[in-house]
Amino acid sequence: MMPPEQETIPGSTNSTTTSATTTPSPNFLLGNVNRPSETGSVHAEPSCDGGTDSLFLGHHDDHNQVPADHHNYSAAAVRSSIFRESLRPVTLKFEDVAYTINLKPRTEMNCFSQPVLKSTRDVLSGVSGLVRPGELMAMLGPSGSGKTTLLTALAGRLPGKISGNISYNGQPFSSSMKRKTGFVSQDDVLYPHLTVLETLTYAALLRLPKKLTTEEKVEQAESVIVELGLTRCRNSVVGGPLLRGVSGGERKRVSIGQEMLVNPSLLLLDEPTSGLDSTTAQRIIATLWGLARGGRTVITTIHQPSSRLYRMFDKVVVLSEGSPIYSGQAGRVMDYFGSIGYAPGFSFMNPADFLLDLANGIATDIKQDDQQEFHGRLDHLDDQNSIKQHLVSSYKKNIYPALKAEIHGNHTDSVRNSSSRGSENEWITSWWEQFKVLLSRGLKERKHESYSGLRIFQVMSVAILSGLLWWHSDPSNIQDQIGLLFFFSIFWGFFPLFNAIFAFPQERPMLIKERSSGMYRLSSYYFARMAGDLPMELVLPTIFVTVTYWTGGLKPSFVTFVLTLLIILYNVLVSQGLGLAMGAILMDVKQATTLASVTMLVFLLVGGYYIQKIPAFIAWLKYASFSHYCYKLLVGVQYSDNEFYECGIGMNCRVMDFPAIKCLGLDGKWWDVAALTLMFVGYRLFAYVALRMGQPH
C-alpha cells in the first residue's frame, strides 16, 4: 500500500477530491496538496522562479506581495515581516503515542457495590502522524477524544510518562526545541489591564534575543500587530472577565502574536476558533494557513470547522476516544471512508461534520447501495461501539502500515539542528534584563489593583474612624493608647496577608504559560514581584499611620513617629510574605483564605494584649506570631523607663510598671527585630521553593 500522501484509495477514480477548483502548489513546503486561493486575508500565488508561494497577510493589493522564499531572503524582506521566514524548519513525527491516566479509586465500598475493575484510562492509544514544514495539520474529534492531550504531548508540556516516539527533525524534545516552539492554549492567558501593544512589546522584550536592541524588539512587536490586523485596537486594553476589552477574535490573535514574535518553526494551537463567529474563525485559520506557507509546521485542534475552513487543512488526524481512525491528507479523507463502506448520503456534506459523526460512531447517512453492499457487515455494526471498533481496525489495516513506513522512510532530518544546541540552551536574555522588564510590566498591570478606589476607601475610612475614636487620647489613659498600638499591629497584619494570598494563584496560569515557553527564570520573576510590591504595598500604610498617629494622641515626637512607621511597614512586609507563602504552597484561594483566617486568629489571641498570662504549655505560640513582636516593638518605642503617668489622684506611677506593659517584657528589642527578619526571609523563601516545586523548569 502506498503512503497516504501518494496512495490511490481503492474504489475511487480520483486520488484527490476537492470541493472547488484549486491551483497546484509548486513546492514541497506546500505539502503537494491542492489549496484554494480565496482565503480572505491571505493571498498565495506561485512564484515565478518556482520557489515557495508568495505570502502577504492582511492586505489585498497584489502589488504589495513579498516573495516568501524559504531559502533566500532579501534584508528588506526579513526586516519587514518575521512571518516570511522560518530559518530552521521542523519535521514532526509521532508514532504510536499513548497516554494513560490513573483513575481515582472508589472508597465507599459495601456488599452491594461492584469493585472497580479498571484503575486506569487510556486517553491516547497508538496515535501516529507526520507533519512537514509548510503543512497545516488539524486534529478533529468529539469532546474528550484526546485532541488537547495529544497537542500538549507534541508541545512537550504533558506531565507524566508518554509511550511511543515523538521526534523533531529526528531528535527528542529539548530546550533548544522549546525555544523554536510556539504553543497557544485554548484559553487566552493575558494580562487584562495591558494594551495590545504593551502585551506584545513586553513579550518581545522577554523572548527576543539580546543581540537585538530595545528599539528593534519594539519594532518587531509593531510588525506583528500590522501582520495580524490588530492596528485598529493596538492601544486598547486586552480586557478580561471583569474588564471590557478587545473582542474574542482580537484576543486570540494577540495570543498567536505572542508566539509569533520568536518566529517559531513549530506552532501548536488548541481550539483557536472556539467561541468565534465563522468569519472571525476563517480569518484565524487563514492566518495559520499563511504562517504554514512561510515554512512552518503548524498543528491545531479544532472542534467543528466549516467546509471552507476544512479546505485549508493539508492533513487531518481524526480521533475517537483516544484512538485514531484517520491520519493523512485532508483531501482524501472522503475517498478513504467511502472505500471501507462509509460515504455520505449526499454530495455536498461538510467533511468535518461527516468525520465527527463517524468518530462518535454514527453512520446513518451512508448511501442506500452501500447499505445493501455492506448489509452483512452492518448487521455487526448496529451500535456505536462496534462502528468505532471497525473504524479503528480499518485504520490499523489500511493506513497505519503506509504511515509507519513513511515515518521511518526519511532520515535526512535527524542531524539537522544539532550543531548549535549548546548555545541555544542558554537563556535568551540576561537575568537583569528579565528583572527590569517583569518589574515594569508588574507595576503597570497591578497599579490598577493596588490603587483601586475600593482599596483606598477601605484604608482611609478605617484611618479616619480610628483617629476619631482615639481622638487626642489622654496620655494617662495608657490602656487606650496601647490598644491603638495593638490595633496597628493587627490591622496591618490582616490586610496585607489576605491581599497577598491571591497573588500567585491568580498569576499561576500566566506563570505556567510563560515559564513553559522559557521566557524567563523563576528567580527573576519572583524578585521582580517582590520589588514591585514595595511601592504599592507601603504607600497606604504610610498614609494610614500618618493620619491615625497624630490624631490618636500618641507621643508627639517625630523620631517616635518615624520608628512607629518603620515598624508597621516591616510588619506589613512580614505579613505579606506569609500570605505569599500560603498562596504559593496551596495554590487555592479558598484553602489559603481559610488557613490565613485561623492563623491570624491565633496570632490575635497570643499577641499579648488580650491575655497577659498564657498557660505555659501553649505559651510557645506567641513566639510564632509576628503580631506579638510588632506589638512589643510599638510599645517599646512609644514609652521609656523614665516616663510616668497619673495613676490616681495626686499619684504618679512608672509607665513600665503598668500591668499590660510589664508583662510584655520590653527588654531585648533587637531580638524582636531579629525574629521579624527571620520570618521576613523565611516566609519568602518558602514561597519561592513552593513555586519552584510547582512550576516547569
Residues 225 and 173 in one domain: yes
Nearest to 683 by CA among 541, 520, 530: 530
Regarding whether 413 and 550 lie in a shared domain, the answer is no
Contact 272, 284 (CB under 8 A): yes
The pLDDT score that the predictor gives to residue 23 is: 33
Q: Are residues 577 and 451 in the same domain?
A: yes
In sequence order, which residues have a C-beta less than 8 Å from that of residue 685 and are 6 or more positions away?
A: none
Tracing cell 522564499 back to the chain, one arrives at 69
User: Are residue 418 and residue 511 in the same domain, yes or no?
Assistant: no
Q: What is the pLDDT of residue 452?
A: 81
> Taking Cα atoms as reference points, which of 575, 614, 611, 610 lies closest to residue 596?
575
Domain boundary among 369, 396, 423: 423
Residue that terminates a domain, selected from 395, 423, 451: 423
With H, G, I as helix, E, B as strand and everything else as coil, classify residue 301. strand
- Residue ranges of alpha helices (H) inside 360-415 are 368-373, 375-379, 384-398, 400-409
Shared-domain flag, residues 183 and 266: yes
Residue 582 three-state SS:
helix
d(CA 366, CA 343): 5
- Is 262 buried (19+), middle (13-18) or exposed (0-12) by CB count in 10 A? buried
Tell me, yes or no, whether 13 lies in a domain: no
Angle between helices 669-694 and 626-638 (to 10 degrees): 150
Would you state the pLDDT for residue 327? 94
In this structure, the answer to whether residues 544 and 686 fall within a common structural domain is: yes
Q: What is the SS3 assignment for 147? A: helix
Residue 2 lies in a domain: no
Task: Report, as ranges of residue numbers, the positions in the chain whose pLDDT lies below 70.
Answer: 1-87, 104-118, 364-382, 410-426, 695-697
Q: How far apart are CA 304 and CA 355, in angstroms?
A: 10
| Assigned domain for 598 exists | yes
271 found inside a domain:
yes
Residue among 564, 588, 624, 585 at smallest CA distance from 506 = 588
Domain that includes residue 270, residue range: 92-135+151-296+305-312+408-423
Query: Which one-letter DSSP state was computed for residue 346?
Result: S
What CATH number does the domain containing 266 carry?
Answer: 3.40.50.300
Contact yes or no for 153/97 (Cβ under 8 A): yes
What is the pLDDT at residue 183? 93
Domain boundary among 394, 423, 452: 423
Residue at 80 is within a domain? no
- Does 82 fall in a domain? no
User: Is the domain of 466 the same as that of 530?
Assistant: yes
Can you spell out the DSSP letters for 605-640?
A: HTSSSS-SS--TTTGGGGGG-HHHHHHHHHHHHH--
Domain count, the chain: 2
Are the beta carbons of 580 and 532 closer than 8 angstroms? no
* 497 and 412 belong to one structural domain: no
Examine residue 58 and state whether it is found in any structural domain, yes or no: no
Tell me: do 419 and 483 sit in the same domain.
Answer: no
Please calculate the CA angle 192-198-202 and round it to the nearest 5 degrees: 105
240 in a structural domain: yes
The DSSP result for 512-568, as a single string, is: HHHHHTT-S-HHHHHHHHHHHHHHHHHHHHHHHHHHHHHHTT----HHHHHHHHHHH
Q: Provide the β-strand partners of residue 300.
A: 138, 269
Residues 114 and 236 in one domain: yes
* Residue 575: partners with Cβ closer than 8 Å, 6 or more residues away: 492, 493, 494, 495, 496, 497, 500, 626
Please indicate, yes or no, whether residues 497 and 413 belong to a single structural domain of this protein. no
Do both 290 and 439 map to the same domain? no
For residue 688, the SS3 value is helix
Neighbours of 164 (CB within 10 A): 16
